[in-house]
């Protein structure tokens, strides 16, 4: 049989099993041995499901910290293991710049400047056209001699005292210079080509000067013809073009 319960606040005797004092309303402490067995839930009522452990309380933020799942092995890498440049591939369609994680490509060779190309073209034209003028001048009048009875003319292809003039030699030198000028005009920039063109042009100039001096030393009054003057101008132009030629 249950014992009577005494209120600890006002001393009023309370019926057995009372939880609050009927006089002062204070809570009544259960006496030893009087704790009733837990009442089983009524039939048809399911027990509350077991919930996961709540997140730990963060005293600094004042709220529970959200649980963060641990990183997967694929999202992190062991410390001290560096990825090589070859392990990273550029994305599809990537066309410019250096590969991702790799070294930049070597610098492409700079294209020749427009000014340098124009200069080499001018040099080739001067040599080619100058040599052509020299060749044409070899077939024209070199000398005009006044013997009183009339004026006699001569070219580099005439025979004097059984000897042929220097016309064939002039044409040969002019052909060589013209060929070298064509090579320069095609864009070739070589020191060898430039030197050979200069030698051929100087040879044509030297022959022309020699012929002009020979006319001035003639026994009869003589004048240089149009052919020698054309050869002089053409050879000078070829020499200038050879000097303007560029090299690598």
pLDDT tens digits for range 80-95: 555 555 555 666 665 6
Q: Are 201 and 193 in contact (CB under 8 A)?
A: no
| Residue 105 predicted with pLDDT over 70 | no
**Residue among 163, 182, 184 at smallest CA distance from 174:** 182
Lowest mean pLDDT among 78-82, 159-163, 231-235: 78-82
Q: Across residues 4-18, what is the average pLDDT?
A: 77
| Residue 158 predicted with pLDDT over 90 | no
- How much of the chain exceeds pLDDT 90, in percent? 34
Question: Is 109 strand, coil or helix?
Answer: coil
- The per-residue pLDDT of the chain, averaged, comes to 76
Q: What is the pLDDT of residue 90?
A: 61
From CA 28, how far away is CA 175, in angstroms rounded?
134
Indicate the domain borders of the chain: 118-244
pLDDT level of residue 36 (50, 70, 90 thresholds): very low
Q: What is the pLDDT of residue 199?
A: 97
Single pTM value for the model: 0.52
pLDDT level of residue 239 (50, 70, 90 thresholds): very high
From CA 5, how far away is CA 143, in angstroms rounded?
160
Q: Which two tokens stand for residue 131?
A: 């040599």
Q: Which two tokens stand for residue 159?
A: 């025979």
Q: Which two tokens stand for residue 23?
A: 């006089």
Q: Across residues 198-202, what is the average pLDDT?
A: 97
**Radius of gyration of the chain measured on its C-alpha atoms:** 58
| Residue 145 predicted with pLDDT over 50 | yes
Q: What is the pLDDT of residue 140?
A: 95
């Amino acid at each position: 049989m249950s014992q009577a319960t005494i209120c600890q606040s006002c001393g009023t005797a309370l019926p057995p099993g009372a939880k609050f004092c009927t006089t002062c309303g204070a809570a009544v402490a259960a006496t030893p041995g009087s704790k009733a067995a837990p009442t089983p839930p009524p039939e048809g009522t399911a027990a509350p499901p077991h919930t996961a452990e709540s997140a730990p309380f963060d005293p600094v933020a004042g709220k529970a910290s959200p649980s963060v799942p641990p990183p997967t092995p694929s999202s992190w890498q062991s410390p001290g293991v560096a990825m090589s440049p070859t392990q990273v591939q550029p994305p599809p369609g990537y066309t410019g710049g250096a590969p991702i994680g790799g070294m930049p490509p070597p610098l492409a060779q700079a294209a020749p400047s427009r000014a340098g190309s124009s200069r080499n073209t001018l040099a080739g034209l001067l040599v080619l056209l100058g040599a052509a003028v020299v060749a044409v001048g070899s077939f024209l009048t070199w000398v005009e001699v006044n013997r009183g009875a009339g004026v006699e003319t001569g070219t580099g292809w005439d025979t004097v005292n059984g000897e042929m003039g220097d016309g064939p030699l002039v044409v040969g030198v002019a052909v060589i210079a013209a060929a070298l000028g064509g090579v320069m005009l095609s864009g070739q920039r070589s020191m060898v080509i430039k030197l050979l063109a200069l030698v051929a042009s100087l040879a044509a100039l030297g022959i022309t000067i020699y012929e002009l001096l020979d006319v001035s030393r003639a026994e009869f009054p003589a004048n240089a013809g149009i052919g020698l003057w054309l050869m002089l101008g053409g050879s000078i132009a070829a020499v200038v073009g050879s000097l303007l030629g560029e090299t690598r």
